[in-house]
Amino acid sequence: MSVKVLLVDLDGTLTDTANPDFKPMKDGLIETDLSKIPLIKGSIEFIDYQKSKGNILIITSDSHPKYVKKSLTRYSKLISSI
Query: Where are the domains positioned within the chain?
Result: 5-75
CB 7 within 8 A of CB 43: no
Strands (E), the chain: 5-9, 56-60
Neighbours of 76 (CB within 10 A): 10
Question: Which pLDDT score, from 0 to 100, does residue 78 have?
Answer: 60
The tens digit of pLDDT for each residue in 15-69 reads 999 999 999 999 999 999 999 999 999 998 998 899 889 998 888 999 999 999 9
pLDDT at 77 over 80: no
Classify the C-alpha dihedral 48-51-67-27 as positive or negative: negative
Question: Which pLDDT score, from 0 to 100, does residue 81 have?
Answer: 45
pLDDT at 82 over 60: no
Cβ neighbours of residue 82 closer than 8 Å, sequence gap 6 or more = 69, 72, 73, 75, 76
